[in-house]
A and B are shown apart, each in its own frame.
Chain A
Amino acid sequence: MIQRLLPLIGFLLLATLLGAGIWLAKVRDPNAIPSPLIGKTAPAFELPALHEPGRTVRSQELLGGAYLLNVFGSWCPGCRDEHPVVTQLAKSGALPVIGFNWKDEREDALRWLARFGDPYALIVVDFEGRTAIDFGVYGAPESFLIGADGIVLYKHIGPLQWDDVEREILPRLAAANAANAATNVPTNAPATAPANAPASAP
C-alpha cells in the first residue's frame, strides 16, 4: 500500500517545495538585498547641498531627530512614481525627509523638483555615487529610516507606497521616539521636551 502511495507522496513533497518557492517570491521581493546596515550606525558622509552648492552637509549635523533619507534621481522613473507618497509623508510632519540626489546633474534635479514639487527638508548630492556605495544603495528609489542617534532602523527598496509608510515606517518611528523618550525622561524631564521637538516637527 505504502509502495503505491510513494509516487503521490513524492509529488506532494515536490509540489509543496515549489509552492513554497512561489509563496516566498510573493511575500518578499526575491531580488531585494536586505541591508546589512539595519541596527547599525549609518555611514558618515560629507556631501554638498543641492540648493546651496557652497554648503557641505555633514551627517553629524542631522543627528538629534529621526529622518528619512530618500535616494532619488531625476533619471529614475520609480522616483517619480513614489514622489506623491514621499510628499505626503513629508507634509504629514511625521518626520523630515532628506533627499539624497544620486548620480544626477544639478540642473536636471532642479528641473525635476520644479516640476514634481520639492517636499525635502534638505537635499544632499552624491554625484560620484561613493557615499551611495557606503549605504549599500544599488538602485533608486531607496529609502532609509534613520533614528535620532544615527542608527539605521529600516530600509525600503523600490518605490514607496503609502501602505509601506503606514506598515513599516511610522510604527518603527513611533517605537524609536518612545524609546528615546523613555531614556531621556528620568534624567532631565523638563529639558527633553524642547530637545525632542525637532524630531517631530516637519
Chain B
Amino acid sequence: MRLCAGVLGLLLSLAALAIDPLPFRDQAEEDRFRSLAAELRCVMCQNQSLADSDAMIAQDLRREVFDLMRQGKSNAEIKLFLSERYTEFVLYDPPLDASTVLLWFGPLGFLIAGGIALAVIVRRRSAGLKDAKIVPDEEW
C-alpha cells in the first residue's frame, strides 16, 4: 500500500514535470498560460497538447508562448504567431474557413444523413404496419 502511494506520488511528480518551471508573476498569469497551452497542439507528439508534452520542441514553444505573453501579446496574437509558423495544425480549436468546413460540419452532415435514413425506414415500416391486420387482443 505504501509502495502504491509512492509509485503514485512519483507518477504525479513526473506529470507535473511536463510544465517546466517558468517564472510566473502570479496565479492569474499561470492560469492563463496553462489554459492557452492546453489549447495548442504539440507539433512533435501530435496527440498531446503543448501543456502535456515533454518533447524538446514543446518546451521551446512553451517558453516562446510565455515570452510572447510577457511582451503583452493577446491569446489571439500568440495563436497567430504559432499558426504562421506551424500552420493551423497547432490549434485545437481551428477557425472556420474553406479548408475546415468538413471538419466543422462533417459530423452534423452525418447526423442529418442518419436522421433522414432513420425517418425513411420508420415511415416504410409504419406504412407496412397499416396494411397489416391488427389483432386487438394480441398477448405479448
Contacts and interface: CB of A to CB of B under 8 A. Distances in A.
B89 interface: yes
B100 interface: no
State the main secondary structure of chain B at its contact with A: helix
Nearest to A139: B44
B138 interface: no
Interface stretch (B7-15, B19-27, B28-36, B56-64): B56-64
B83 to A, nearest CB: 8
Contacts of A111: none
A33 B87 contact: yes
Contacts of A137: 57
A130 B66 CA distance: 13
Contact of B85 (A34, A103, A133): A133
A131 B18 CA distance: 23
Interface size class of B (residues with CB under 8 A): 10 to 19
A186 interface: no
A46 B86 CA distance: 21
B118 to A, nearest CB: 14
A78 interface: no
Contact of A133 (B46, B64, B83, B87): B64
Contact size range, A: 10 to 19
A139 B43 CA distance: 9
Nearest to A37: B85
Contacts of B44: 138-139
B60 A36 contact: no
A21 to B, nearest CB: 14
Interface string A22-39: 000000000101111100
Given A33-B86, A136-B87, 10 more contacts: A33-B89, A103-B56, A128-B60, A130-B60, A132-B60, A133-B60, A133-B85, A135-B85, A138-B57, A139-B57
Interface of B: 43-44, 46, 56-57, 60-61, 64, 83-87, 89
* The 6 nearest A-B residue pairs measured at CB: A138-B43, A136-B85, A129-B60, A138-B57, A36-B87, A33-B89
21 contacts: A31-B46, A33-B86, A33-B87, A33-B89, A35-B87, A36-B85, A36-B87, A103-B56, A103-B60, A128-B60, A129-B57, A132-B60, A133-B60, A133-B85, A134-B85, A136-B85, A136-B86, A137-B57, A138-B43, A139-B43, A139-B44
